[in-house]
Amino acid sequence: MSRTIVAAAAQLGPIARLDTRKAVVERLIALLGEAASRGAELVVFPELTLTTFFPRWHMTDPDEIDAFYETEMPGPDTRPLFETARRLKIGFYLGYAELAVENGVKHRYNTAILVDRNGEIVGTYRKIHLPGWDRPQPGRTAQHLEKYYFEPGNLGFKVFETMGTRIGMAICNDRRWPETYRVMALKGSEMILVGYNTPDDHTGHFDFDSLTQFHNQLSLQAGAYQNSNWVIATAKAGHEEGSNLIGQSMIVAPSGQIVAMATSTADEVIVAKCDLDMAALYRKTIFDFARHREPEAYRLIVETRGPVSD
């Protein structure tokens, strides 16, 4: 008997700077309801779901900055989402800015949690590949200051056994790095969940930026196929505070085929029934890691960050 899970990507249209958490959570609850009515058992929301994508601005006032972070999860504003999910018996992935106190020291992470069908947090991931800069770049109209607002995640790429499958998490820029998927696939993941905010002006070079959507598909399809995983990827999309965020939320099978894709840049749910045994199929054949991988030849990947001369 095949094992299946009905998964949904719950894409969000733009969130304005002045939109309240309460208003955003109401939108999330509506999306959760629609996903449930279409049979979904697991819903993936975007990266930094609860606010506008604030790393586009350089803020210096600590109070202004802190207002974008969550200090508890669930908190008063997000609890209704957890309660609705529990009532609907639906699991979810939620990205948010996390302000954590570890050993008495404040840390800021770009975080995603995995919540099971009982409304319990069963996994936490903190974004490892932070794009952009740690200070504003002169001459750029669009800043991308994730290295200013966040530290690299300190939890590694874990895989969580839950909801009848093995789930890994990644956040936005992580999806472009093959290492992201491979580490989780080696740990036996069958599904990788990804939330993202991808502006179409990141490099500032038209020839590259015009390929933003192609690179989104390329990364997600390659990651799914080369690692024999389902990939559920969800965008925050549309014209948000002067920035154009691509949509293209999608569900990709372990074959690399896109089985569902959003057609708008607004709030939109896409759903697919995912056959989890499809992941095993490729792992027994072309991507039988134990039989075909040659780790000795890959040493450099973990020994160095950047290019080396041979």
Q: Kindly state whether residue 80 participates in binding ligand CDV, applying the rule CB under 6 A.
A: no
Residues 270 and 260 sit within 8 Å (Cβ to Cβ):
yes
Q: Could you say which of 28, 113, 172, 237 contacts ligand CDV (CB under 6 A)?
A: 172
72 noted as active-site residue: no
Residues 247 and 235 sit within 8 Å (Cβ to Cβ):
yes
303 noted as active-site residue: no
Q: Which is nearer to ligand CDV, 236 or 283 (CB)?
A: 236
Shortest distance, position 73 Cβ to ligand CDV, whole Å: 20
> What is the chain's alpha carbon radius of gyration, rounded to the nearest angstrom?
19
Q: Kindly state whether residue 180 participates in binding ligand CDV, applying the rule CB under 6 A.
A: no
172 noted as active-site residue: yes
Q: Could you say which of 108, 126, 176, 182 contacts ligand CDV (CB under 6 A)?
A: 176
Q: Which is nearer to ligand CDV, 119 or 168 (CB)?
A: 168
Q: How far is 45 from 42, CA to CA, in rounded Å?
A: 10
Q: Which is nearer to ligand CDV, 115 or 194 (CB)?
A: 194
| Residues 133-152, mask of contacts with ligand CDV (x by CB under 6 A) | -----------x--------
Shortest distance, position 242 Cβ to ligand CDV, whole Å: 15
Catalytic residue among 41, 47, 98, 190: 47
Q: Which is nearer to ligand CDV, 131 or 178 (CB)?
A: 131
CA distances from 205 to 211, 212, 248 (A): 10, 11, 21
* The one segment of 78-86, 152-160, 196-204, 288-296 that binds ligand CDV by CB under 6 A: 196-204
For residue 199, the cross-strand partners are: 245
Shortest distance, position 274 Cβ to ligand CDV, whole Å: 24
Q: Could you say which of 68, 93, 196, 230 contacts ligand CDV (CB under 6 A)?
A: 196
| Residues 23-62, mask of contacts with ligand CDV (x by CB under 6 A) | ------------------------x---------------
Q: Could you say which of 4, 30, 57, 131 contacts ligand CDV (CB under 6 A)?
A: 131
HEC-encoded secondary structure of the chain: CCCEEEEEEEEECCCCCCCCHHHHHHHHHHHHHHHHHCCCCEEECCCCCCCCCHHHCCCCCHHHHHCCCECCCCCCCCHHHHHHHHHHCCEEEEEEEEEEEECCEEEEEEEEEEECCCCCEEEEEECCCCCCCCCCCCCCCCCCCHHHHCCCCCCCCCEEEECCEEEEEEEHHHHHCHHHHHHHHHCCCCEEEEEEECECCCCCCHHHHCCHHHHHHHHHHHHHHHHCCEEEEEEECEEECCEEECCCCEEECCCCCEEEECCCCCCEEEEEEEECHHHHHHHHCCCCHHHHCCHHHHHHHHHCCCCCCC
Q: How many residues bind ligand CDV (CB under 6 A)?
A: 11
Shortest distance, position 110 Cβ to ligand CDV, whole Å: 8
* The one segment of 7-15, 62-70, 197-205, 227-235 that binds ligand CDV by CB under 6 A: 197-205
Catalytic residue among 70, 98, 172, 190: 172
Binding site for ligand CDV (CB under 6 A): 47, 131-132, 144, 172-173, 176, 196-198, 202
The residues assigned a catalytic role are 47, 127, 172
